[in-house]
Amino acid sequence: MSNSQAKPVRKAFISRITNETQIQIAISLNGGHIEIENSILPKKDADDVASQATNSQIIDIHTGVGFLDHMIHALAKHSGWSLIVECIGDLHIDDHHTTEDCGIALGQAFKDALGAVRGVKRFGFGYAPLDEALSRAVVDLSNRPFAVIDLGLKREKIGDLSTEMIPHFLESFAEAARITLHVDCIRGFNDHHRSESAFKALAVAIREAMSSNGTNDVPSTKGVLM
């Protein structure tokens, strides 16, 4: 395999500590083995539904907000990432700081792991159904952060996660990752299904955008993206 075709490592580790949250993230955009040597969590539940280990992926999400864990797990699984997220947040106040800061930290980790945008398709789109719900996502690894999110959620909360925080998580992720994303739920009446189909569609779009275009070129007429 030539140097132009060699698959980049695409791994990153982020530690983000504020007065509101403590977050650690390890990510490998290519899947495979990852770990966090010094966990900040006091205890992990071995039966946690947002944890999964296979030969190709390790996913372990602990934000303290169950439905957020579920959405990040879906994003990682269908993007092909290995991902560990640890967060201790001020949930005695509400879910805002935890959700926002996890989006920021995940975006930073994604950006660091991706590195220079070259040799990839740059653009990606994806559709994902979940029963009656259908969502569409379009991604540009643009270095121009922007997010348009329209999920049409009606409930106040899904589990312990405020539905208003779901688009805000995606907006925070896009800003920190320095990508453009458009995510729409096209149809559906169950807010859990609408949200999950949106995260899965985003995962499909990101996976396509990160995939090789067969060159080592920067996919831009400007000649530079990052």
Query: Mean pLDDT per segment of 10 residues, for the chain of length 226 residues?
Result: 63 97 98 95 72 92 97 98 98 98 98 93 97 98 96 98 98 98 98 98 98 84 69
Residue ranges and CATH numbers for the domains of the chain are 11-210 (3.30.230.40)
Exposure b/e, 89-128, CB count within 10 A at least 16 = b = bbbeeebbbbbbbbbbbbbbbbbbbbeebbbbebbbebeb
Could you give the residue ranges of the DSSP H alpha helices within 19-178? 66-79, 96-114, 165-177
Task: Output the pLDDT for position 105.
Answer: 98
Task: Output the pLDDT for position 5.
Answer: 56
Distance, in Å, from the CA atom of 40 to the CA atom of 95, rounded to the nearest integer, reads: 19
Structure-block tokens of residue 89? 């947040």
Task: Output the pLDDT for position 3.
Answer: 46
Task: Output the pLDDT for position 9.
Answer: 86
Task: Output the pLDDT for position 8.
Answer: 79
pTM: 0.93
Could you give the residue ranges of the DSSP H alpha helices within 19-95? 66-79
Exposed/middle/buried for 66, CB within 10 Å: 0-12, 13-18, 19+?
Answer: middle
On the CB side of 174, how many CA atoms lie within 13 Å of its CA? 25
Task: Output the pLDDT for position 103.
Answer: 98
Task: Output the pLDDT for position 217.
Answer: 84
Could you give the residue ranges of the DSSP H alpha helices within the chain? 66-79, 96-114, 165-177, 191-210
Distance, in Å, from the CA atom of 223 to the CA atom of 210, rounded to the nearest integer, reads: 18
Task: Output the pLDDT for position 197.
Answer: 98
